[in-house]
Amino acid sequence: MDNGGGGAAHIPSAGGGVVGVQIRHSRRLPDFLQSVNLKYVKLGYHYLMSYLLTLCIIPLMVAILVEASRMNLDDIHQLWLHLQYNLVSVITCSAILVFGSTVYIMTRPRPVYLVDYSCYRPPDGLKVQFHQFMEHSRLTGDFDETSLEFQRKILERSGLGEETYVPEAMHSIPPRPTMAAAREEAEQVMFGALDNLFRNTSVKPKDIGILVVNCSLFNPTPSLSAMIVNKYKLRGNIKSLNLGGMGCSAGVIAVDTAKDLLQVHRNTYAVVVSTENITQNWYFGNKKSMLIPNCLFRVGGAAVLLSNKSKDRRRAKYKLVHVVRTHRGADDKAFHCVYQEQDSEGKTGVSLSKDLMAIAGGTLKTNITTLGPLVLPISEQLLFFATLLVKKLFNANVKPYIPDFKLAFDHFCIHAGGRAVIDELEKNLQLLPIHVEASRMALHRFGNTSSSSIWYELAYIEAKGRMRKGNRVWQIAFGSGFKCNSAVWEALRNVKPSLNGPWEDCINKYPVKTVT
């Protein structure tokens, strides 16, 4: 048990250490008991508010049943006569009920199911260890000693492991940041993920009616979506979209776009492909704020199969519950905090502002303010509202109440943008280490794979056998603009990992201890 200060670490000597620890523990015992009591008080309050409506309805139903049991045949006959004399009213009410039900059924949102998804697993030949990364950087001759040392420190503190991947062009000396090499990287990632997806789901490419592809920094002509149409010979009337320049949170935007299209087009499949391209976006200059992406971003991508067919519910893994998008592009600081530009020597890269974490925190706050009422139990909403009311009415210096999102979600897929991002969300949302384990391990094993990172994290949870029927998953991602986007999924069954998953041959090694 955690004693709050590690009493054993302060043992003065072998002779008096035990007594010292006993005294410290006895002094802290009332605090511990108080925290336990508060925990169970809050838990009891949560259950009371969650089932308050049921508790109110039960006595009412009992009263109705008791009253109905007292009715005799004469009372029932009188009720029937009353209905006969009011036939017009009965018919009118029935017509209104039928009309209202029909309108509701026709206009309600169609459920969107996640049939399956696939994360790309690069070949082992593309792995890059820290010493290889540093040696390669020295041999290119573009970095001065200060920049090399800066990159070494970033790598050590990044949370990345020794088995992440960089594209083949970056393994060459000198590197080959050509258009042809960038196309090759894009094809390997997208086609690799799609081949596995089609194989696992037995869905034919011709059955795909909607295609949404997102890649922030690489947008060739023809587009990435056109490359997929050409490769798999998709049908001519497919609704295809290509999202560019939208950063690491574009995967959720792509899902939201596909969801909207599935509301319009009946009985079809939608494929979402999320990736990023490194080949032409490696920075070869010495500006420190632009060197960080070199150390964090790695090769990765995911392909997701969505459906609005009712028959697919039986085999689907998840149902899409909510998507909430927040955009702070109107604020100049937020707009410039992740910015692609040229340095003083004309070398292009993505600059990360020192205000990035503060802006991300503010954007997250806006996003969860919208998401909270949709997912939080009434008990948490009342506490949040009461705190806000006290602050407004009495101008009291009341600390804002942070809702317990652990009561709304069973699993968290936080974009693996870097160790600092995961640390900050773990702290601000008051999560436990197990809640951010998937994010930390995805960062360690695959690095920052941009918009696809949330799918590697979901695959980790499945590979660990933790996804049970009815569990809710919160995918949350941040991206340039600045944006924070959330997607909420509900598991339709006990989910097992799909064949050829990214964790298939290494899940038993995880979790591993990462740098803190």
Q: What is the pLDDT of residue 97?
A: 80
**Is residue 66 in a domain?**
no
Answer whether residue 26 shows pLDDT above 50. Answer: no
Q: Are 471 and 419 found together in one domain? A: yes
Q: How do residues 204-254 score in pLDDT, each as one tens digit?
A: 999 999 999 999 999 999 999 999 999 999 999 999 999 999 999 999 999
Domain assignment present for 316? yes
Which position has the higher pLDDT, 38 or 426? 426
Strands 269-275 and 483-491: unpaired
**If you average pLDDT over residues 364-383, what whole number do you get?**
87
pLDDT at 81: 67
User: Between these two residues, 106 and 274, which has the higher pLDDT value?
Assistant: 274
Q: If you ran DSSP here, which 8-state letter would residue 297 be given?
A: B
- Give the pairing of strands 208-214 and 269-275: parallel
* Domain count across the chain: 3
Asked whether the predicted pLDDT for residue 12 surpasses 80, the reply is no
Same domain, 176 and 237: yes
Question: Angle between the 87-107 and 73-85 helix axes, to the nearest 10 degrees?
Answer: 80
Task: Identify whether 137 is part of a domain.
Answer: yes
Closest CA to 114 of 319, 324, 410, 409: 319
pLDDT at residue 494 in the model: 97
Q: Is 163 a member of any domain? A: yes
- Tell me how far apart the alpha carbons of residues 461 and 216 are, in angstroms, rounded to a whole number: 26
Question: Does residue 7 lie in a domain region?
Answer: no
| DSSP codes of every residue in 4-30 | SS-GGGG---TTTHHHHHHHHHHHHHH
Exposure string (b/e) for 464-482, b if CB count within 10 Å is 16 or more?
bebbeeebbbbbbbbbbbb
Q: What is the pLDDT of residue 495?
A: 97
What pLDDT, on the 0 to 100 scale, is given for residue 71? 61
Looking at the structure, tell me whether residues 137 and 263 fall in a common domain.
Answer: yes
Q: Which residues are catalytic?
A: 248, 327, 411, 415, 444, 448
Instruction: Tell how strand 411-414 and strand 348-352 pair up.
Output: unpaired
Sign of CA dihedral 139, 141, 147, 151: negative
Q: Report the SS3 class of residue 341.
A: strand
Same domain, 225 and 316: yes
Does the pLDDT value for residue 2 go beyond 50? no
Cα separation, 1 vs 439, in Å, equals 26
* Strands annotated E in 221-281: 239-243, 269-275
Between CA 421 and CA 292 the distance in angstroms is 14
State phi, psi for 349 to the nearest 5 degrees.
-165, 180
Question: 31 and 102: one domain?
Answer: no
pTM: 0.82
Please check whether residue 476 lies inside any domain of the structure.
yes
Domain that holds residue 371: 113-509
